[in-house]
């Protein structure tokens, strides 16, 4: 199973988060989180290992990552870190490929 490491620059808050995902012999994924954000760090206090199949196939409100984000709470719904955590679980669980994700602001006259 491939492990992975992600860096998330959350944007205007200027908080950076490093997510390292590793898979154990049972196929469960553990996330190690280093973050400038105290809310993200609080979210990790309750984290256990994740089942990649359950997490990736879950509806948003049933995702363990998003439940933790709700319970913490993460104060900004637009925070990209929970999404990146799910992406790391997907890749470490061998359910997805390592491919960068981006959100860019464009002018109306620009091409995407």
Sheet holding 16-23, edge to edge: 4-9, 16-23, 29-35
* pLDDT given for residue 110 in this prediction: 65
Read off the pLDDT of residues 40-54 as tens digits, 9 standing for 90 and up.
999 999 999 999 999
Domains of the chain: 4-92 (3.90.1010.10)
Q: Nearest Cα to 33, choosing from 1, 57, 68? A: 68
Q: What is the mean pLDDT of residues 84-98?
A: 96
* pLDDT given for residue 112 in this prediction: 59
CB atoms within 10 A of CB 60: 10
pTM confidence score:
0.92
Q: Nearest Cα to 81, choosing from 14, 8, 27, 12? A: 8
Q: How far apart are CA 18 and CA 31, in angstroms?
A: 10
* pLDDT given for residue 82 in this prediction: 97
Token pair in block for residue 86: 């799910």
Would the CA dihedral through 96, 79, 102, 60 be positive or negative?
Answer: positive
Cross-strand pairs, 34: 18
């Amino acid at each position: 199973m491939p492990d992975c490491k992600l860096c998330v620059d959350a944007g205007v808050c200027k908080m950076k988060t490093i997510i390292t995902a590793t898979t154990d012999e049972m196929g469960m994924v553990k996330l190690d989180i280093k973050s400038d954000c105290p809310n993200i760090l609080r979210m990790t206090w309750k984290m256990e290992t994740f089942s990649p199949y359950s997490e990736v196939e879950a509806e948003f409100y049933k995702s363990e990552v998003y439940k933790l984000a709700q319970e913490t709470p993460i104060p900004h719904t637009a925070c990209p870190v929970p999404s990146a955590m799910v992406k790391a679980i997907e890749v470490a669980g061998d359910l997805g490929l390592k491919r960068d994700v981006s959100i860019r602001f464009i002018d109306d006259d620009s091409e995407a």
